Structure 1
Amino acid sequence: MRSTVGILVSLGRGGCQVPEEKRSKHGFSYNPWDPTCKLLGGTFLFANPEKDFDLPESALANKTKSMWSWDSVDEKSMVTDIYLALQSALDLVHKAHDGGISPILCGIGITSSDVPIIFELIKRHGVLSNAEAFAFQNKFRVVDLSQLTLASFNHANYFLYPKSKNVILGKYLANKKFESGKTVWDLYEEENYNGIKDRVMDEVLSTHQCYMLIKQDFDKFKALELVDKRRAKELRKAQEVEL
């Protein structure tokens, strides 16, 4: 069986610095096109779902790659490193599948944070042209757990709203809870870079655990569905016999 690479991404608020006067109490404060905002970096887990997903946490951590502003010449250099890491994963997957399968960007809430941040910065810093960045982004697929996990929750009406990180953690990892990503601003101002690294790594590994548990839930749902189909089939046969 050919290999596939899934990429679990942790970036977004946990890896961004926003000037104090632009920090909002609610919503997303960081803007990749605002020159006063700064991407601090992030951690990527490059994992093959057929080989790597059952590895112990320490082995998974060894499969991560991190890029940080304090280790880079400037933001453009760091964004270029992120681009090259994604391009490497893309090349690996396309080569394994003759271009028929795309690598997956996976995380919690990444469709409204991590993914647009990465690709907007790639454009802003001229790593790729706008047209090239669009084509590059379109070669990936995105699995956002904040949306995927909706099937695992009860809903009072037809309003389906993406679940937050801590809501998902509360369901699948009861003893795990992350403070607001805005606490990273304090860590950065205190130059507590190891604190930022540890937090982001913890988020990546927790995201991986949630992914696995959500998949297990879906397997249970399908097993129950199969039981219902068998019962319905047996009932139809019984009714036909009676006739």
Structure 2
Amino acid sequence: MKKFKRILLSKRRTIILFFDLEFYVPKNERLNRDGFLANPYNNENIIIGGTFIRNFPLNSETEDETLKFWIWNYNFDEKLMLTEILQFIKESWSIVNSIPDHYPLMACGIGISRIDISYLFGRISHYNIEEKSKLFEILNLMRLIELENLTVPFFRSYNDLIITKNTSQINDKFKINRKREPSKKIWDYYDEKNFVAIEKRNTEEVLDQVLVYKNISKYLLIQNLPKSLSKEKIENIQKKSIKKDDLELLMKYYIPGFDSNIFEIKDNIEDETKYNLMKILIKTSSLKNKKYKKKNVA
């Protein structure tokens, strides 16, 4: 039987890049056209900037790093701005690759697999900032967490067709109550030189993506919460250096069942409590399968 290579996930080197780019289409190209109008291979359809959040999902002690790249901060030099964006992505790859066999750099967003990644490739290639074969690897070897696709099962379906949802629908589903203007409004703001409005809207979009990701992550995690724990497992947890509050929470919701050797979880527990219980069990390593135990890397 073929053995799969072990993939490492370290606290300080597992990275997700949340990001959203904004593009500009001149007025004369907006008329009599439907759908997504921007095209990276039309020279005037430039990237005007975007917000990147570098997130370390396994390290709660490390704060997210937010970097903003806007063309007006680079004397409206798109090439210079793209050079710095690419350098930031390369730097993120360097952090991940500092440990051999580490899990690849990840990128997360809404529509990034359809638009943002290919747009970056097109505009960076236009200026010959990076050799195309190398650029392809830098951008396309990232593992993409496409929220358009990931959120599909959270919506009701009334036929056999799988359809992705737009940003507003996704935000509504995850109860992110933020007023959102149409994407094309960005072009009006750019024409009016209302750069503050562009930055504000874009930053909020990326922060919302982080919230959607975290909500999905919590949902997936609590699906694995065990409905019962053995008495032996409970005793092993009690022997570990576990916080008093964590132990009290665990014992509050896992109570002795009909079988004295089994502790069963209470009914009708809120999702946030389930999430906290799951985190406690993970911290105490009581759910880890020894066969797939991760290496202890920094």
Q: For residue 170 of structure 2, give the secondary structure of its aligned residue in structure 1.
A: helix
Question: Is 1:146 the counterpart of 2:148 in the alignment?
Answer: yes
* Matched letter for residue 86 of structure 1: I
Q: Tell whether the 8 Å contact from 2:11 to 2:58 is kept in structure 1 after alignment.
A: no
**Residue-by-residue CA offset, 1:182-237 (whole Å, 9 max, x unaligned):** 101111111111111111111111111111112222234445xx66xxxxxxxxxx
Larger Rg computed on CA atoms: 2
Task: Tell me the alpha carbon deviations over residues 109-137 of structure 1, each in whole angstroms, 9 at most, x when there is no partner.
Answer: 11111111112212111011221222222
Aligned equivalent of 1:114? 116
In structure 2, what is the equivalent of residue 79 of structure 1?
Answer: 82
Q: Percent identity?
A: 27
Contact 1:169 1:177 in 2 (8 A): no
2:97 is the alignment partner of 1:90: no
In the alignment, the residues of structure 1 paired with residue 57 and residue 178 of structure 2 have an alpha-carbon distance, to the nearest angstrom, of 24
Runs of 4+ in 1 over 6 A off after TM superposition: none
- Secondary structure at 2:171 match in 1: helix
| Counterpart in the other structure of 1:28 | 36
Structure 2 letter corresponding to 1:156: Y
1:15-56 CA distances to partner (integer Å, 9 max, x unpaired)? 11101122266421111110121211001001100125x98x
Within 5 A, what are the aligned runs for 1:1-243? 1-3=10-12, 4-11=14-21, 15-23=22-30, 26-52=34-60, 60=64, 63-73=65-75, 74-95=77-98, 97-223=99-225
Question: Residue 120 of structure 1 aligns to which amino acid in structure 2?
Answer: G
CA contact (8 A) 1:152 1:217 kept: no
Flag structure 2 segments of 5+ consecutive residues without an equivalent. Answer: 1-9, 228-298
- TM-score (normalised: structure 1): 0.82
Identify unmatched segments of 5+ residues in structure 1.
228-243
Higher helix share: 1
**1:75-114 deviations in whole A, cap 9, x for unaligned?**
111111110000000000111x314311111001111111
Under a length normalisation based on structure 2, what TM-score does the superposition of the two structures give? 0.67
Count of aligned pairs: 215
Question: Considering only aligned residues, what root-mean-square deviation do their CA atoms show, in Å?
Answer: 2.0
Q: In structure 2, how many angstroms separate the alpha carbons of the residues matched to 1:222 and 1:158? A: 28
Change (3 A) 1:215 1:177: farther
Q: 1:221 to 1:155 in 2, by over 3 A?
A: farther
1:142 alignment partner, SS class:
strand
Q: Give the Cα separation in 2 of the matches to 1:211 and 1:101.
A: 18
Q: CA offsets per residue over residues 124-177 of structure 1, 9 Å max, x none?
A: 110112212222223311101010111212222221122210110011124224
What is the rounded CA distance, in whole Å, between the counterparts of 2:15 and 2:216 in structure 1?
19
Separation of aligned partners in 1, 2:110 and 2:140: 19
Aligned to 2:108, the other structure's residue is in SS state: strand
